[in-house]
Structure 1
Amino acid sequence: MTDSVSDLIACPKCDVLHKLPQLEKGAQAKCVRCGTVLMAPRDGAMTRIVMLSITALILMIAAVFFPFLELSVKGLGRKSSVFDAILAFSEGLMLPLSFAVAALIVVLPVTRFLALIYVFAPMALGWAPARQAREVFKLAEAIRPWAMAEVFIIGVAVALVKVAGLAQVTLGPAFWAFVGLVIITVLKDNFMCRVTVWQTLNARSQS
């Protein structure tokens, strides 16, 4: 046991308390009850997270403004982008839905990418954390469940299965940009060890 609460970590799944271990890069600490990975520091993780976040921002721009798909029926075709889909709900009683779609699919993911770059870029260069870095990282973690780009692409894939029987569907570059965005997001979160991030932020803020 330890007398300091700051030396304890709770398992996010079963709430068992553990004493923070000292891990080498590449090692893992798992919950003794359920086996959930508690810590998994990786060498060069901050640099990779910054690069992946920048890549995700570029893909997001392409995903929003490039043609997402084209529907063709009896010789008539129509291209549509995610931006067009957002504007389609921008009138009358559907306006709140337009704001919700824009926030969950575009605004919140972009905000999280920018927040992660702000937090990790200075530390990846060996500098002290940026001002309010801890608060910005808290924000990035708070909006993480609401950044639903991956949910959007899954919903689109399900809808395309039904639409394909009614019209010819051609996937545009924005669709593949969204697919790449989802893969990049998964990789970025896989590189991130949140306990190590907090330890680094606290240690470098005090130095």
Structure 2
Amino acid sequence: MKRIVFGLLAAAALWPAALSAQYVSNARGPWFDRLTLEPYAGLYIDNAGSTGAGLDQSGWLGGVRPGMALTDRVRLLGDLGYSRVNEVARIGTGENSAVIGSENWLATGGLELDVVPGETAGALGLQYGAAWRSESLREVMGSPSPDGVESGWTRSAVIVPSFSIRHRIAPRADLRLGVQDYIFFDNDPLSHNFALTAGISLR
């Protein structure tokens, strides 16, 4: 009887370690088993324009995030995204006005850490990269003076802190909801451009 009890206690003590070792082993398996690819889309709030911040400067954002598991809780992530906002500024008023819209290409890379592990996990991330931005006329009413608006593409360094919730929906697929802050450093003043995204992470 003592041997049975001792065996059960030993199994209970070793079981979590065995599971952890198996998970880490999977994370360190063949490189193609550690890769993920996440198409995503969502809301993008563009505060880098010449008007104030707020939902009036909102549009859509879409892209893809490739990733690789480094450990059971740490992932290397990249992000290639594109946003389009129909109105970030307005020149003139009433019948003599012009609406200015924006486009942004976003390319970043960094790390993500699961702070709450499990089938439903919470993660903090930090990425760094570049953003290419262009403003152009979207609508002209009357005879405003929108000279110098379409100035081509400009580049800015960008850092992206993020928080996401990930839920396992299939053996090789997770539903992912996230909040990102695209901080444009080369703007004067510095601008925070927020995004709310949803995607499916595939392994």
Do both proteins adopt the same fold according to a TM-score greater than 0.5, normalized to the shorter chain? no
Tell me which protein shows more strand as a share of its residues.
2
TM-score of the superposed pair, with normalisation by structure 1? 0.23
Larger radius of gyration: 2
Higher relative contact order (CA 8 A, sep 6+): 1
Tell me which protein shows more helix as a share of its residues.
1
